[in-house]
Amino acid sequence: MLSNASCITNSLAPLTKVIPDNFDIMEGLRTTFHAITATPKTENGSSGKLWCDGHGTAQNIIPASYGAAKAAGKAIPELHKKLTGMVFHVPTTNVSIVDLTCHQEKASNYNDIKKVIKLASKGPLKDMLGYTEDQLISWYYNEYGYSNMVVDLMLYVASKE
């Protein structure tokens, strides 16, 4: 079985590979602020099973849970049952952000974390993970990155035939 998961899982995956490969993670929290998509309602209306289903994303910040943290645990066994998270659907059209906060076995410092991310961005994850110390705002474009990962998956499958 192959799955390209979701745009959020794809944005989280590079860090959830690099961090546990270099630091012992006890637990982690992934928080996503996600742009409006076609799934939630765009206007306030009747509710389904959950009270927040009746709120439109164009006017509200809507909390929800989803499986990106669980998916990361399946793909990276060292993280199984160590990650949790939630998403906030926010009234913006095309940008989202993921925050990963980890509780580690041993303390590390910011420079250690930057160093391993920088090395990974020049090594095996160079096509998925970027690193810069320029004054930028980091983000992922919800559908563009996901679409690129679908193409990468198709090329990978085609190369195995």
DSSP 8-state symbol, 105: S
Q: Tell me, what's the pLDDT at 116?
A: 95
Q: Give the whole-angstrom CA distance, residue 31 versus residue 56.
A: 20
Q: Tell me, what's the pLDDT at 53?
A: 65
Domain membership of residue 1 (yes or no) is: no
Q: Tell me, what's the pLDDT at 48?
A: 66
Q: 83 and 27 in contact (C-beta within 8 Å)?
A: yes
Domain membership of residue 2 (yes or no) is: no
- Please count the structural domains in the chain: 1
Per DSSP (E only), the strands in 7-82 are: 25-34, 62-64
Q: Tell me, what's the pLDDT at 83?
A: 86
Helix count (H) and strand count (E) of the chain? 4, 4
Q: Tell me, what's the pLDDT at 54?
A: 66
Report residue 74 as tokens.
């399946």
Q: For position 39, which CATH number holds? A: 3.30.360.10
Nearest 5°: the CA angle 157, 69, 123 is: 55
Domain membership of residue 68 (yes or no) is: yes
Pairing state between β 25-34 and 97-104: antiparallel
Residues 5, 7, 62, 129: which is the catalytic one? 7
Domain of 124 in residue numbering reads as 7-159
Q: Tell me, what's the pLDDT at 96?
A: 81
Average pLDDT over the chain reads: 80
Domain membership of residue 56 (yes or no) is: yes
Among 46-60, 121-135, 147-161, the range scoring the smallest mean pLDDT is 46-60
pLDDT, tens only, 104-114: 999 999 999 99
Domain membership of residue 149 (yes or no) is: yes
pLDDT, tens only, 71-122: 777 777 888 888 888 888 888 877 788 888 999 999 999 999 999 999 999 9
For the question of residue 52 being annotated catalytic, the response is: no
Percent above pLDDT 90 for the chain: 19
Q: How many CB atoms lie within 10 A of CB 47?
A: 12
